[in-house]
Amino acid sequence: MKTPKTIALVTGANKGIGYEICRQLSKLGCTVLLGSREISRGTEAAKKLQDEGLDVRAVQVDMNDESTFGSLHDLIAADYGRLDILVNNAGFASDWAYTAANVPIQMLRDTFEANFFALVDLTQRLLPLLRKSSAGRIVNQSSALGSLTLHSTPGSGIDGYKPLAYNSSKTVVNAFTVHLADALKDTPIKVNSAHPGAVATDANPSGTLSVEEGSRTAVELATLPPDGPTGGFFHMGHALPW
Ligand SMILES: NC(=O)c1ccc[n+]([C@@H]2O[C@H](COP(=O)([O-])OP(=O)(O)OC[C@H]3O[C@@H](n4cnc5c(N)ncnc54)[C@H](OP(=O)(O)O)[C@@H]3O)[C@@H](O)[C@H]2O)c1
């Protein structure tokens, strides 16, 4: 079955910012594949959006289980024939109690595995489907905490936030954005990093932005016009330093 509707996949979308990105993209007319590592959580989340009349379908994508990437590729290829939007939103931080001086190496490895290696792996596997789109968009959900410039600028506002594993996993996500945008510069595909802001979710209970506000940057980058930027890092329309 082929459809003229824009097909979007959002990972880590059973709750938080990813869930809201699904709502916003489907309100804009996309068919949204709501990615969740636990399909039961994804199905429950998708049902709530379906009850709002939105075109949302739960799919399994576990950043710790690459077998789910191949299955997801095959499902999208069979049912839609292409992918127009990929929002790499799934991510986590577990090292808030540590610094670069004492973060356990296994914690560093585990964070990079899900936040970076799996993100690259999933994106590479889905690229053949994104290349079939006339306007492919890849959004890597990063964080201002991945910015080395902000970390090394006193008074930048992120001085007190130095969990190495999480922050550096987002720094390398930003590197992937720059390098992939270059690799795809002769295609219509645009690749950008998003900082959602400090958003009140399970991952950041003290966040001050709503999920509606937090989803805005990723949704804007997912729906960029043909003359929009690629290879950049943005928050609410403003470029952030690397
Ligand atoms: N909230 C903020 O202030 C903030 C600021 C900057 C950047 N971010 C980034 O924004 C993204 C979304 O964060 P959020 O605040 O919405 O967090 P959240 O509410 O905790 O949601 C995170 C989502 O990622 C999923 N996830 C985590 N590890 C996964 C894995 N190994 N495989 C598949 N899915 C996984 C979670 O699934 P489960 O429900 O199964 O755990 C959940 O769906 C993350 O990349 C985060 O780093 C957030």
Write out pLDDT tens, residues 74-104: 999 999 999 999 999 999 999 999 999 999 9
What is the average per-residue pLDDT within 57-68?
98
The C-alpha torsion from 148 through 153 and 155 to 161, rounded to 10°, is 30
- What pTM did the predictor assign? 0.98
What is the average per-residue pLDDT within 114-134?
98
Tell whether the model's pLDDT for residue 1 goes beyond 60.
Answer: no
Distance 23 CA to ligand 1 centre (A): 16
Query: In which band, very low, low, confident or very high, does the pLDDT at 166 lie, cut at 50, 70 and 90?
Result: very high
pLDDT of residue 2: 67
Domains of the chain: 7-239 (3.40.50.720)
pLDDT of residue 4: 86
Which residue's CA lies nearest to atom 27 of ligand 1? 91
Q: Express as a percent the part of the chain with pLDDT over 90.
A: 98
Atom of ligand 1 nearest to the CA of 141: 45
Helix (H, G, I), strand (E, B) or coil at 222: helix
Which pair of structure tokens corresponds to residue 107? 């914690």
Q: Determine the Cα–Cα distance for residues 194 and 74; give it in Å rounded to an integer.
A: 27
Query: In which band, very low, low, confident or very high, does the pLDDT at 123 lie, cut at 50, 70 and 90?
Result: very high
